[in-house]
Amino acid sequence: MNMKTSEIKELTTKEIVERIDTEKENLVRLRLNHAVSPLDNPLKLKDTKKNIARLKTVLRQRELSENQN
């Protein structure tokens, strides 16, 4: 599932942290499955990593804006 940045910004900080954990677990599972037998769509690995990066970016932006206040 590919998330847009606008969708991520609507989530609460707690939801973002939970989503990061879920996506990381999903990535590990995908990598293990891919090592055993090739995935039907290997781009899922790339999409999952990008989702994690988007989530972390929004989380970091929130941390920085809180520190400025």
Cα separation, 45 vs 27, whole angstroms:
7
pLDDT tens, residue by residue, 9-51: 899 999 999 999 999 999 999 999 999 999 899 899 999 999 9
In a domain, 6, yes or no: no
Domain of residue 49, residue span: 24-69
In a domain, 7, yes or no: no
In a domain, 16, yes or no: no
In a domain, 28, yes or no: yes
What count of other Cβ atoms lies within 10 Å of the Cβ of residue 51?
Answer: 20
The number of folded domains in the chain is 1
pTM of the model: 0.88
In a domain, 4, yes or no: no
